[in-house]
Every structure is written in C-alpha cells, then in structure tokens.
C-alpha cells in the first residue's frame, strides 16, 4: 500500500514573502496582536501544506492554466495561491480577499 502522508517541502517565493510582510506591516499599524495572529496562522498553514496540500481546491480563472494553482483561505480574509510540483509546494502569492486581486492573475 503506498504511503499516503508523504512529506512535502514548502517553499515560499520572494513575491509571497513580500506580500506577507506587507500585510503584516499594515496589520501591525492597526493591531499588533492581529499581526501576530497572521504570522502564527501562516506558520500553521505552511505546516498543513507540508502534510496534505492536495486537499485544497483549484483556483479557476480563464487567465490561468487549468489546474495549475490551488488556493487556501486562512485567517478569515487571506488567501494563499500555491502549486505543487513533485514533492515541493510553492507558495506563489498571499492576497487579502477584501481587495481586488484579479490584477495578480
């Protein structure tokens, strides 16, 4: 029987890091505890992606190749866009769903 919980390596692109830092800075100006929650939730999310990244839905848009990116909502309003290549999960972007993120696509 094949191993179902093989480990994945999660890599965060420079763009995704910059987006995370931007969201964190914005939140820290409003509420430091909220910024800390964002970071804590992000760390938990990456740990979950290392175990079972296929469980999240595909991101469908006419500008994107079919079934290339998956999406994961976290901390009530943020979305991580990622793709799986072999045993590596690449987080490509982190967006605030309250904003228009179609420009990213």
Structural domains of the chain ordered from first start? 9-97 (3.30.2310.20)
| pLDDT tens readout for residues 12-41 | 999 999 999 999 999 999 999 999 999 999
- The whole-model pTM stands at 0.85
Q: Residue 6 corresponds to which tokens in the numbers above?
A: 């093989």
* 5 pLDDT more than 90: no
Phi/psi of residue 61, nearest 5 degrees: -160, 145
């Amino acid at each position: 029987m094949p191993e179902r919980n093989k480990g994945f390596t999660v890599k965060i692109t420079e763009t995704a890091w910059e987006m995370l830092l931007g969201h964190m800075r914005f939140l820290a100006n409003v509420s430091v505890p909220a910024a800390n929650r964002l970071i804590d939730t992000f760390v938990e999310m990456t740990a979950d992606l290392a175990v079972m990244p296929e469980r999240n839905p595909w991101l469908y848009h006419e500008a994107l190749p079919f079934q290339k990116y998956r999406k994961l909502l976290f901390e009530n309003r943020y979305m991580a866009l990622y793709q799986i290549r072999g045993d590596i999960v690449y987080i490509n972007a982190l967006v605030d769903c309250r904003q228009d993120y179609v420009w990213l696509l």
